Amino acid sequence: MLRIITELAEARSELRRICDRTHDEQVTHKEATVRQILQTVKRQGDRALLAYTEEFDKQILTAEQLRVTGSELDAAYQQVSKELLSAIQLASRQIEEFHRLRVPKSWVQFGDRDVVLGKRYTPVDRAGLYVPGGRAAYPSTVLMNAIPAKVAGVERIVMVTPPGPGGALNPAVLVAAQEAGVTEIYRVGGAQAIAALAYGTETIPKVDVITGPGNVYVMLAKGQVYGTVGIDSLAGPSEVLVIADRTADPTHLAADLLAQAEHDPMAAAILITTDGDLAGKVVNEVKDQLADHPRRIDTEKAIAHFGLVIVVETLELAAELSNEFAPEHLELEVAEPWDLLERIKHAGAIFLGHSTPEAVGDYLAGPNHTLPTSGAARYASPLSTETFMKHSSIISYSAGALSSVSSAVQALAEAEGLPSHGYSVKVRTDRPSPER
Ligand SMILES: NC(=O)c1ccc[n+]([C@@H]2O[C@H](COP(=O)([O-])OP(=O)(O)OC[C@H]3O[C@@H](n4cnc5c(N)ncnc54)[C@H](O)[C@@H]3O)[C@@H](O)[C@H]2O)c1
Ligand SMILES: N[C@H](CO)Cc1c[nH]c[nH+]1
Ligand SMILES: [Zn+2]
Protein backbone atom coordinates (compact mmCIF):
# COMPACT_ATOMS: atom_id res chain seq x y z
CA MET A 1 0.00 0.00 0.00
CA LEU A 2 0.90 3.68 -0.05
CA ARG A 3 3.77 4.30 2.37
CA ILE A 4 4.30 7.38 4.55
CA ILE A 5 7.88 8.60 5.02
CA THR A 6 8.85 11.30 7.48
CA GLU A 7 12.63 10.96 7.42
CA LEU A 8 14.29 13.27 4.89
CA ALA A 9 17.21 11.08 3.78
CA GLU A 10 14.86 8.15 3.18
CA ALA A 11 12.46 10.40 1.28
CA ARG A 12 15.27 11.59 -1.01
CA SER A 13 16.49 8.08 -1.71
CA GLU A 14 12.96 6.83 -2.46
CA LEU A 15 12.32 9.76 -4.78
CA ARG A 16 15.54 8.94 -6.65
CA ARG A 17 14.54 5.28 -6.98
CA ILE A 18 11.12 6.20 -8.36
CA CYS A 19 12.52 8.84 -10.71
CA ASP A 20 15.01 6.29 -12.07
CA ARG A 21 12.46 3.50 -12.40
CA THR A 22 12.68 3.46 -16.22
CA HIS A 23 16.49 3.28 -16.08
CA ASP A 24 16.77 0.37 -13.68
CA GLU A 25 18.07 -3.04 -14.67
CA GLN A 26 14.66 -4.57 -15.26
CA VAL A 27 14.06 -1.97 -17.94
CA THR A 28 17.53 -1.61 -19.43
CA HIS A 29 17.75 -5.33 -20.14
CA LYS A 30 14.86 -4.69 -22.58
CA GLU A 31 17.24 -2.47 -24.59
CA ALA A 32 18.57 -5.57 -26.36
CA THR A 33 15.07 -6.85 -27.22
CA VAL A 34 14.18 -3.44 -28.62
CA ARG A 35 17.43 -3.24 -30.66
CA GLN A 36 16.62 -6.64 -32.17
CA ILE A 37 13.08 -5.52 -33.07
CA LEU A 38 14.37 -2.34 -34.72
CA GLN A 39 16.98 -4.18 -36.77
CA THR A 40 14.54 -6.85 -37.91
CA VAL A 41 11.99 -4.27 -39.07
CA LYS A 42 14.73 -2.32 -40.83
CA ARG A 43 15.76 -5.48 -42.73
CA GLN A 44 12.42 -7.18 -43.30
CA GLY A 45 9.91 -4.31 -43.42
CA ASP A 46 6.21 -5.27 -43.37
CA ARG A 47 6.97 -8.98 -42.87
CA ALA A 48 8.56 -8.21 -39.49
CA LEU A 49 5.72 -5.85 -38.52
CA LEU A 50 3.18 -8.61 -39.10
CA ALA A 51 5.23 -11.18 -37.18
CA TYR A 52 5.70 -8.89 -34.16
CA THR A 53 2.02 -7.92 -34.23
CA GLU A 54 1.16 -11.59 -33.99
CA GLU A 55 3.71 -12.19 -31.22
CA PHE A 56 3.02 -9.16 -29.00
CA ASP A 57 -0.51 -8.05 -29.89
CA LYS A 58 -1.84 -11.53 -30.71
CA GLN A 59 -3.36 -10.25 -33.96
CA ILE A 60 -2.89 -11.89 -37.33
CA LEU A 61 -2.94 -9.25 -40.08
CA THR A 62 -1.96 -9.04 -43.75
CA ALA A 63 0.15 -6.16 -45.10
CA GLU A 64 -2.98 -4.77 -46.81
CA GLN A 65 -4.73 -4.56 -43.44
CA LEU A 66 -2.03 -2.41 -41.86
CA ARG A 67 -3.48 0.83 -43.24
CA VAL A 68 -6.85 1.98 -41.92
CA THR A 69 -9.33 2.46 -44.78
CA GLY A 70 -11.62 5.41 -45.50
CA SER A 71 -14.73 3.33 -44.89
CA GLU A 72 -13.41 2.30 -41.46
CA LEU A 73 -12.83 5.97 -40.67
CA ASP A 74 -16.37 6.90 -41.78
CA ALA A 75 -17.83 4.05 -39.74
CA ALA A 76 -16.04 5.26 -36.60
CA TYR A 77 -18.24 8.39 -36.51
CA GLN A 78 -21.31 6.14 -36.26
CA GLN A 79 -19.79 4.31 -33.32
CA VAL A 80 -19.12 7.23 -30.98
CA SER A 81 -21.87 8.93 -29.01
CA LYS A 82 -22.84 12.55 -29.75
CA GLU A 83 -21.61 13.47 -26.31
CA LEU A 84 -18.16 11.98 -26.91
CA LEU A 85 -17.93 13.59 -30.35
CA SER A 86 -18.67 17.02 -28.91
CA ALA A 87 -16.14 16.44 -26.10
CA ILE A 88 -13.50 15.55 -28.72
CA GLN A 89 -14.43 18.67 -30.68
CA LEU A 90 -14.30 20.91 -27.59
CA ALA A 91 -10.90 19.50 -26.65
CA SER A 92 -9.67 19.92 -30.25
CA ARG A 93 -10.69 23.59 -30.34
CA GLN A 94 -9.06 24.38 -27.00
CA ILE A 95 -5.84 22.51 -27.81
CA GLU A 96 -5.64 24.22 -31.20
CA GLU A 97 -6.29 27.69 -29.73
CA PHE A 98 -3.53 27.16 -27.17
CA HIS A 99 -0.98 25.88 -29.67
CA ARG A 100 -1.73 28.72 -32.14
CA LEU A 101 -0.76 31.26 -29.46
CA ARG A 102 3.00 30.76 -29.85
CA VAL A 103 3.95 29.32 -33.24
CA PRO A 104 7.61 30.21 -33.80
CA LYS A 105 7.86 32.99 -36.38
CA SER A 106 10.72 33.59 -38.78
CA TRP A 107 12.59 36.86 -38.24
CA VAL A 108 15.39 38.91 -39.76
CA GLN A 109 17.36 41.78 -38.31
CA PHE A 110 19.02 44.46 -40.47
CA GLY A 111 22.31 45.49 -38.87
CA ASP A 112 25.16 47.86 -39.66
CA ARG A 113 26.75 47.84 -43.14
CA ASP A 114 23.93 45.82 -44.69
CA VAL A 115 24.39 42.70 -42.60
CA VAL A 116 21.13 40.79 -42.41
CA LEU A 117 20.79 38.02 -39.82
CA GLY A 118 17.81 35.94 -38.81
CA LYS A 119 16.06 32.64 -38.28
CA ARG A 120 13.70 31.00 -40.78
CA TYR A 121 11.30 28.44 -39.28
CA THR A 122 9.95 25.60 -41.42
CA PRO A 123 7.95 22.49 -40.51
CA VAL A 124 9.23 18.97 -41.03
CA ASP A 125 7.75 17.27 -44.11
CA ARG A 126 6.45 14.19 -42.28
CA ALA A 127 5.59 13.58 -38.66
CA GLY A 128 4.98 10.15 -37.09
CA LEU A 129 2.69 9.99 -34.08
CA TYR A 130 2.68 7.08 -31.66
CA VAL A 131 -0.67 6.66 -29.93
CA PRO A 132 -0.57 4.07 -27.14
CA GLY A 133 -3.14 1.33 -27.22
CA GLY A 134 -2.02 -1.51 -24.98
CA ARG A 135 -3.84 -0.94 -21.68
CA ALA A 136 -6.13 1.93 -22.70
CA ALA A 137 -7.24 3.84 -25.80
CA TYR A 138 -6.07 7.44 -25.96
CA PRO A 139 -8.11 9.74 -28.23
CA SER A 140 -6.77 12.64 -26.17
CA THR A 141 -3.18 11.69 -27.07
CA VAL A 142 -4.15 11.74 -30.74
CA LEU A 143 -5.31 15.36 -30.34
CA MET A 144 -2.29 16.38 -28.25
CA ASN A 145 0.17 15.11 -30.88
CA ALA A 146 -1.61 15.75 -34.16
CA ILE A 147 -2.90 19.27 -33.52
CA PRO A 148 0.52 20.87 -32.86
CA ALA A 149 1.82 19.10 -36.00
CA LYS A 150 -1.06 20.51 -38.05
CA VAL A 151 -0.64 24.00 -36.57
CA ALA A 152 3.11 23.83 -37.35
CA GLY A 153 2.20 23.18 -41.02
CA VAL A 154 3.32 19.53 -41.34
CA GLU A 155 1.94 18.12 -44.60
CA ARG A 156 1.97 14.40 -43.85
CA ILE A 157 0.88 13.34 -40.37
CA VAL A 158 1.27 9.57 -40.01
CA MET A 159 -0.26 7.86 -36.98
CA VAL A 160 0.49 4.38 -35.61
CA THR A 161 -1.37 2.58 -32.83
CA PRO A 162 -1.56 -1.09 -31.80
CA PRO A 163 -4.48 -3.17 -33.05
CA GLY A 164 -7.06 -4.59 -30.69
CA PRO A 165 -9.05 -7.84 -31.08
CA GLY A 166 -9.70 -8.64 -34.75
CA GLY A 167 -7.33 -5.80 -35.72
CA ALA A 168 -9.95 -3.25 -34.68
CA LEU A 169 -8.99 0.23 -33.52
CA ASN A 170 -10.89 2.24 -30.97
CA PRO A 171 -13.49 4.36 -32.83
CA ALA A 172 -12.88 7.41 -30.62
CA VAL A 173 -9.18 7.25 -31.56
CA LEU A 174 -10.14 7.17 -35.25
CA VAL A 175 -12.58 10.07 -34.85
CA ALA A 176 -10.01 12.12 -32.93
CA ALA A 177 -7.47 11.46 -35.69
CA GLN A 178 -9.83 12.84 -38.32
CA GLU A 179 -10.83 15.85 -36.23
CA ALA A 180 -7.14 16.63 -35.63
CA GLY A 181 -5.99 16.34 -39.26
CA VAL A 182 -4.05 13.03 -39.24
CA THR A 183 -3.43 12.10 -42.89
CA GLU A 184 -2.90 8.31 -42.58
CA ILE A 185 -3.24 5.66 -39.87
CA TYR A 186 -1.55 2.25 -39.49
CA ARG A 187 -2.44 -0.49 -37.02
CA VAL A 188 0.87 -1.37 -35.47
CA GLY A 189 2.27 -0.69 -32.00
CA GLY A 190 5.29 -1.11 -29.76
CA ALA A 191 8.94 -0.85 -30.80
CA GLN A 192 8.08 -2.29 -34.21
CA ALA A 193 5.86 0.72 -34.97
CA ILE A 194 8.67 3.11 -34.02
CA ALA A 195 11.02 1.17 -36.32
CA ALA A 196 8.54 1.43 -39.20
CA LEU A 197 8.31 5.21 -38.78
CA ALA A 198 12.08 5.61 -38.46
CA TYR A 199 13.17 3.42 -41.37
CA GLY A 200 10.03 3.08 -43.51
CA THR A 201 8.59 -0.22 -44.79
CA GLU A 202 6.81 -1.17 -48.01
CA THR A 203 3.56 0.18 -46.49
CA ILE A 204 4.55 2.75 -43.85
CA PRO A 205 6.44 5.90 -44.87
CA LYS A 206 9.64 6.95 -43.16
CA VAL A 207 9.08 10.18 -41.23
CA ASP A 208 11.30 13.02 -40.02
CA VAL A 209 10.19 13.26 -36.42
CA ILE A 210 8.43 10.77 -34.12
CA THR A 211 6.37 11.97 -31.17
CA GLY A 212 4.05 10.51 -28.59
CA PRO A 213 4.16 8.57 -25.35
CA GLY A 214 4.16 4.83 -24.83
CA ASN A 215 5.27 2.02 -22.56
CA VAL A 216 8.94 1.19 -21.92
CA TYR A 217 9.35 -0.63 -25.25
CA VAL A 218 8.15 2.44 -27.12
CA MET A 219 10.26 4.75 -25.00
CA LEU A 220 13.44 2.69 -25.47
CA ALA A 221 12.77 2.40 -29.21
CA LYS A 222 12.41 6.17 -29.55
CA GLY A 223 15.70 6.63 -27.70
CA GLN A 224 17.44 4.19 -30.06
CA VAL A 225 16.15 5.71 -33.34
CA TYR A 226 17.01 9.25 -32.25
CA GLY A 227 19.50 10.55 -34.79
CA THR A 228 17.91 8.65 -37.68
CA VAL A 229 14.83 10.76 -36.94
CA GLY A 230 14.04 13.53 -34.49
CA ILE A 231 11.93 12.74 -31.43
CA ASP A 232 10.04 14.72 -28.82
CA SER A 233 11.13 14.15 -25.23
CA LEU A 234 11.09 10.63 -23.81
CA ALA A 235 7.53 10.50 -22.50
CA GLY A 236 7.22 7.22 -20.64
CA PRO A 237 5.01 5.92 -17.83
CA SER A 238 2.99 8.75 -16.30
CA GLU A 239 3.73 10.42 -12.97
CA VAL A 240 2.21 13.00 -10.67
CA LEU A 241 3.66 14.76 -7.67
CA VAL A 242 1.25 16.68 -5.44
CA ILE A 243 2.36 19.28 -2.90
CA ALA A 244 -0.41 19.83 -0.36
CA ASP A 245 -0.91 21.79 2.84
CA ARG A 246 -3.70 21.41 5.41
CA THR A 247 -6.18 23.26 3.13
CA ALA A 248 -6.27 20.32 0.67
CA ASP A 249 -9.07 17.75 0.58
CA PRO A 250 -7.82 14.15 1.11
CA THR A 251 -10.53 12.71 -1.17
CA HIS A 252 -9.42 14.99 -4.00
CA LEU A 253 -5.76 14.17 -3.44
CA ALA A 254 -6.38 10.41 -3.44
CA ALA A 255 -8.36 10.70 -6.68
CA ASP A 256 -5.55 12.68 -8.31
CA LEU A 257 -2.89 10.16 -7.25
CA LEU A 258 -4.97 7.29 -8.61
CA ALA A 259 -5.67 9.20 -11.83
CA GLN A 260 -2.01 8.75 -12.78
CA ALA A 261 -1.45 5.38 -11.09
CA GLU A 262 -4.25 3.84 -13.19
CA HIS A 263 -2.27 4.42 -16.42
CA ASP A 264 0.40 1.80 -15.91
CA PRO A 265 1.92 -0.50 -13.25
CA MET A 266 5.04 1.66 -13.71
CA ALA A 267 3.20 4.97 -13.15
CA ALA A 268 4.32 7.07 -10.17
CA ALA A 269 2.07 8.90 -7.68
CA ILE A 270 3.67 10.99 -4.94
CA LEU A 271 2.27 13.30 -2.28
CA ILE A 272 4.47 15.69 -0.31
CA THR A 273 2.59 17.38 2.50
CA THR A 274 3.23 19.57 5.49
CA ASP A 275 0.28 17.99 7.34
CA GLY A 276 0.79 14.57 8.97
CA ASP A 277 -2.97 14.08 9.58
CA LEU A 278 -3.73 14.75 5.93
CA ALA A 279 -1.09 12.15 4.95
CA GLY A 280 -2.90 9.43 6.93
CA LYS A 281 -6.30 10.40 5.53
CA VAL A 282 -5.01 10.26 1.95
CA VAL A 283 -3.59 6.76 2.50
CA ASN A 284 -7.00 5.56 3.73
CA GLU A 285 -8.81 7.31 0.89
CA VAL A 286 -6.56 5.69 -1.70
CA LYS A 287 -7.40 2.29 -0.19
CA ASP A 288 -11.14 3.05 -0.31
CA GLN A 289 -11.11 4.39 -3.85
CA LEU A 290 -9.09 1.39 -5.03
CA ALA A 291 -11.55 -1.13 -3.56
CA ASP A 292 -13.84 -1.20 -6.59
CA HIS A 293 -11.49 0.28 -9.16
CA PRO A 294 -11.92 -1.43 -12.56
CA ARG A 295 -8.14 -1.47 -13.10
CA ARG A 296 -7.37 -2.36 -9.51
CA ILE A 297 -4.56 -4.87 -10.00
CA ASP A 298 -2.30 -2.71 -12.18
CA THR A 299 -3.16 0.44 -10.24
CA GLU A 300 -2.32 -1.25 -6.94
CA LYS A 301 1.02 -2.34 -8.41
CA ALA A 302 1.84 1.25 -9.32
CA ILE A 303 0.83 2.50 -5.87
CA ALA A 304 2.78 -0.26 -4.10
CA HIS A 305 6.00 0.17 -6.08
CA PHE A 306 5.99 3.79 -7.13
CA GLY A 307 3.52 5.46 -4.75
CA LEU A 308 4.74 7.52 -1.80
CA VAL A 309 3.60 10.03 0.81
CA ILE A 310 6.26 12.26 2.33
CA VAL A 311 5.64 14.48 5.33
CA VAL A 312 7.90 17.55 5.52
CA GLU A 313 8.21 20.56 7.82
CA THR A 314 7.78 23.32 5.24
CA LEU A 315 6.43 23.98 1.77
CA GLU A 316 9.88 25.28 0.82
CA LEU A 317 11.33 21.82 1.49
CA ALA A 318 8.44 20.26 -0.44
CA ALA A 319 9.33 22.45 -3.45
CA GLU A 320 13.01 21.51 -3.13
CA LEU A 321 12.21 17.76 -3.17
CA SER A 322 9.86 18.29 -6.11
CA ASN A 323 12.61 20.09 -8.04
CA GLU A 324 14.95 17.17 -7.41
CA PHE A 325 12.33 14.76 -8.80
CA ALA A 326 11.32 17.05 -11.75
CA PRO A 327 7.86 15.49 -12.12
CA GLU A 328 5.88 15.18 -15.32
CA HIS A 329 2.84 16.69 -13.56
CA LEU A 330 2.98 18.82 -10.43
CA GLU A 331 -0.12 19.86 -8.50
CA LEU A 332 0.12 22.70 -5.99
CA GLU A 333 -2.81 21.93 -3.66
CA VAL A 334 -2.00 24.70 -1.19
CA ALA A 335 -3.62 27.89 0.07
CA GLU A 336 -1.28 30.17 -1.92
CA PRO A 337 -0.24 28.22 -5.04
CA TRP A 338 0.99 31.28 -6.98
CA ASP A 339 3.46 32.07 -4.17
CA LEU A 340 4.76 28.50 -4.17
CA LEU A 341 5.11 28.57 -7.97
CA GLU A 342 8.05 30.95 -7.52
CA ARG A 343 10.03 28.08 -5.97
CA ILE A 344 9.30 25.52 -8.69
CA LYS A 345 12.09 25.06 -11.20
CA HIS A 346 11.52 21.72 -12.95
CA ALA A 347 8.13 20.21 -13.91
CA GLY A 348 6.42 19.27 -17.19
CA ALA A 349 3.06 20.84 -16.31
CA ILE A 350 2.06 22.69 -13.13
CA PHE A 351 -1.54 22.72 -11.87
CA LEU A 352 -2.38 25.48 -9.41
CA GLY A 353 -5.09 25.49 -6.75
CA HIS A 354 -7.77 23.21 -5.38
CA SER A 355 -9.99 23.31 -8.49
CA THR A 356 -7.36 22.28 -11.01
CA PRO A 357 -7.08 18.49 -11.08
CA GLU A 358 -4.41 17.20 -13.42
CA ALA A 359 -7.12 15.48 -15.52
CA VAL A 360 -8.24 18.83 -17.03
CA GLY A 361 -4.76 19.13 -18.49
CA ASP A 362 -4.86 15.54 -19.73
CA TYR A 363 -7.98 16.21 -21.75
CA LEU A 364 -8.88 19.70 -22.70
CA ALA A 365 -7.37 22.71 -20.94
CA GLY A 366 -5.23 23.33 -24.04
CA PRO A 367 -1.56 22.86 -23.04
CA ASN A 368 -0.03 19.61 -24.22
CA HIS A 369 -0.26 16.43 -22.13
CA THR A 370 2.75 14.79 -23.80
CA LEU A 371 5.33 15.76 -21.23
CA PRO A 372 8.84 14.77 -20.17
CA THR A 373 8.88 11.94 -17.58
CA SER A 374 11.52 10.18 -15.43
CA GLY A 375 13.31 13.41 -14.51
CA ALA A 376 13.57 14.68 -18.10
CA ALA A 377 11.69 17.86 -17.08
CA ARG A 378 15.09 19.07 -15.79
CA TYR A 379 16.06 19.73 -19.42
CA ALA A 380 13.04 19.07 -21.65
CA SER A 381 9.68 20.75 -22.30
CA PRO A 382 6.16 19.70 -23.24
CA LEU A 383 5.44 18.72 -26.82
CA SER A 384 4.63 21.85 -28.86
CA THR A 385 4.52 23.22 -32.39
CA GLU A 386 8.30 23.68 -32.11
CA THR A 387 8.68 19.90 -31.85
CA PHE A 388 7.58 19.74 -35.50
CA MET A 389 9.64 22.70 -36.68
CA LYS A 390 13.27 23.54 -37.06
CA HIS A 391 14.95 26.76 -38.05
CA SER A 392 17.64 27.71 -40.49
CA SER A 393 19.99 30.56 -39.68
CA ILE A 394 19.84 33.42 -42.21
CA ILE A 395 23.03 35.38 -43.01
CA SER A 396 23.51 37.98 -45.75
CA TYR A 397 26.54 40.34 -46.10
CA SER A 398 27.04 43.28 -48.45
CA ALA A 399 30.47 43.71 -50.10
CA GLY A 400 31.27 46.52 -47.62
CA ALA A 401 30.31 44.39 -44.64
CA LEU A 402 32.45 41.52 -45.93
CA SER A 403 35.55 43.65 -46.36
CA SER A 404 35.15 44.96 -42.80
CA VAL A 405 35.54 41.40 -41.40
CA SER A 406 37.93 40.04 -44.02
CA SER A 407 41.12 40.23 -41.97
CA ALA A 408 39.44 38.74 -38.88
CA VAL A 409 38.17 35.75 -40.88
CA GLN A 410 41.62 35.27 -42.40
CA ALA A 411 43.27 35.35 -38.98
CA LEU A 412 40.87 32.71 -37.64
CA ALA A 413 41.25 30.55 -40.77
CA GLU A 414 45.03 30.75 -40.52
CA ALA A 415 44.91 29.74 -36.85
CA GLU A 416 42.85 26.68 -37.82
CA GLY A 417 45.13 25.79 -40.75
CA LEU A 418 42.26 26.13 -43.24
CA PRO A 419 43.56 28.50 -45.94
CA SER A 420 40.65 28.08 -48.39
CA HIS A 421 38.30 29.47 -45.74
CA GLY A 422 40.39 32.65 -45.57
CA TYR A 423 40.84 32.82 -49.35
CA SER A 424 37.06 32.55 -49.99
CA VAL A 425 36.71 35.88 -48.19
CA LYS A 426 39.92 37.53 -49.42
CA VAL A 427 39.17 36.77 -53.08
CA ARG A 428 35.84 38.57 -52.79
CA THR A 429 37.29 41.65 -51.11
CA ASP A 430 40.19 41.74 -53.60
CA ARG A 431 37.89 41.17 -56.58
CA PRO A 432 34.30 42.09 -55.62
CA SER A 433 31.51 40.67 -57.83
CA PRO A 434 30.34 43.17 -60.44
CA GLU A 435 27.16 45.09 -59.42
CA ARG A 436 24.16 43.59 -61.22
N1 LIG B 1 3.28 10.92 -21.01
C2 LIG B 1 2.14 10.99 -21.70
O3 LIG B 1 1.78 12.01 -22.27
C4 LIG B 1 1.27 9.78 -21.78
C5 LIG B 1 -0.02 9.84 -22.36
C6 LIG B 1 -0.75 8.67 -22.47
C7 LIG B 1 -0.20 7.46 -22.01
N8 LIG B 1 1.02 7.49 -21.43
C9 LIG B 1 1.69 6.27 -21.02
O10 LIG B 1 1.80 5.44 -22.17
C11 LIG B 1 1.90 4.11 -21.74
C12 LIG B 1 1.01 3.24 -22.62
O13 LIG B 1 1.41 1.91 -22.46
P14 LIG B 1 0.57 0.68 -23.02
O15 LIG B 1 1.30 -0.55 -22.68
O16 LIG B 1 -0.83 0.84 -22.55
O17 LIG B 1 0.49 0.90 -24.60
P18 LIG B 1 1.61 1.00 -25.72
O19 LIG B 1 0.88 1.22 -27.00
O20 LIG B 1 2.64 1.98 -25.36
O21 LIG B 1 2.31 -0.41 -25.76
C22 LIG B 1 1.68 -1.54 -26.31
C23 LIG B 1 2.67 -2.25 -27.23
O24 LIG B 1 3.79 -2.70 -26.47
C25 LIG B 1 4.34 -3.82 -27.14
N26 LIG B 1 4.72 -4.84 -26.17
C27 LIG B 1 3.96 -5.29 -25.14
N28 LIG B 1 4.63 -6.29 -24.49
C29 LIG B 1 5.81 -6.46 -25.13
C30 LIG B 1 6.91 -7.33 -24.95
N31 LIG B 1 6.94 -8.21 -23.96
N32 LIG B 1 7.96 -7.23 -25.79
C33 LIG B 1 7.96 -6.31 -26.80
N34 LIG B 1 6.91 -5.46 -27.03
C35 LIG B 1 5.86 -5.55 -26.21
C36 LIG B 1 3.29 -4.37 -28.05
O37 LIG B 1 3.74 -4.34 -29.36
C38 LIG B 1 2.09 -3.45 -27.89
O39 LIG B 1 1.57 -3.10 -29.15
C40 LIG B 1 1.53 4.09 -20.28
O41 LIG B 1 2.74 3.98 -19.54
C42 LIG B 1 0.93 5.46 -20.01
O43 LIG B 1 1.21 5.93 -18.71
C44 LIG B 1 1.77 8.60 -21.32
N1 LIG C 1 -1.79 11.57 -17.99
C2 LIG C 1 -1.32 11.22 -19.33
C3 LIG C 1 0.02 11.90 -19.54
O4 LIG C 1 0.93 11.46 -18.66
C5 LIG C 1 -2.21 11.68 -20.43
C6 LIG C 1 -3.57 11.09 -20.47
C7 LIG C 1 -4.28 10.70 -21.52
N8 LIG C 1 -5.49 10.31 -21.11
C9 LIG C 1 -5.54 10.45 -19.82
N10 LIG C 1 -4.36 10.92 -19.42
ZN1 LIG D 1 -3.69 10.80 -17.41
Report the nearest-CA residue for atom 32 of ligand 1. Answer: 56
How far, in Å, CA of 116 to CA of 393, rounded? 11
Number of residues that make up the chain: 436
Report whether residue 370 contacts ligand 2, using a CB cutoff of 6 Å.
no
Task: Spell out the per-residue pLDDT of the chain, length 436, in tens.
Answer: 899 999 999 999 999 999 998 877 777 789 999 999 999 999 999 999 999 999 999 999 999 999 999 999 999 999 999 999 999 999 999 999 999 999 999 999 998 879 999 999 999 999 999 999 977 899 999 999 999 999 999 999 999 999 999 999 999 999 999 999 999 999 999 999 999 999 999 999 999 999 998 888 998 999 999 999 999 987 778 999 999 999 999 999 999 999 999 999 999 999 999 999 999 999 999 999 999 999 999 999 999 999 999 999 999 999 999 999 999 999 999 999 999 999 999 999 999 999 999 999 999 999 999 999 999 999 999 999 999 999 999 999 999 999 999 999 999 999 999 999 999 999 999 987 776 5
Q: Contact 162/188 with Cβ under 8 angstroms? A: yes
Report whether residue 369 contacts ligand 2, using a CB cutoff of 6 Å.
yes
Q: Which residues line ligand 1 (CB under 6 A)?
A: 33, 56-57, 132-136, 138, 141, 162, 189-191, 213-215, 217-218, 235, 237-238, 263-264, 267, 369-371, 373
Per-residue model confidence (pLDDT) at position 436: 55
Per-residue model confidence (pLDDT) at position 140: 97
Instruction: List the 329-333 sheet strands across, edge first.
Output: 4-5, 307-311, 268-273, 239-244, 329-333, 349-352
Q: How far is the CA of 362 from the centre of ligand 2 (A)?
A: 5
Per-residue model confidence (pLDDT) at position 431: 84
Report the nearest-CA residue for atom 30 of ligand 1. Answer: 56
Report whether residue 368 contacts ligand 2, using a CB cutoff of 6 Å.
no
How far, in Å, CA of 235 to CA of 258, rounded? 19
Mutational pocket test of ligand 2: of 135, 140, 306, 364, the residue with most ligand atoms within 8 Å of the beta carbon: 140
Give the nearest ligand 1 atom to 163 CA: 39
Predicted interface score ipTM higher than 0.95: yes
Report the nearest-CA residue for atom 4 of ligand 1. Answer: 213
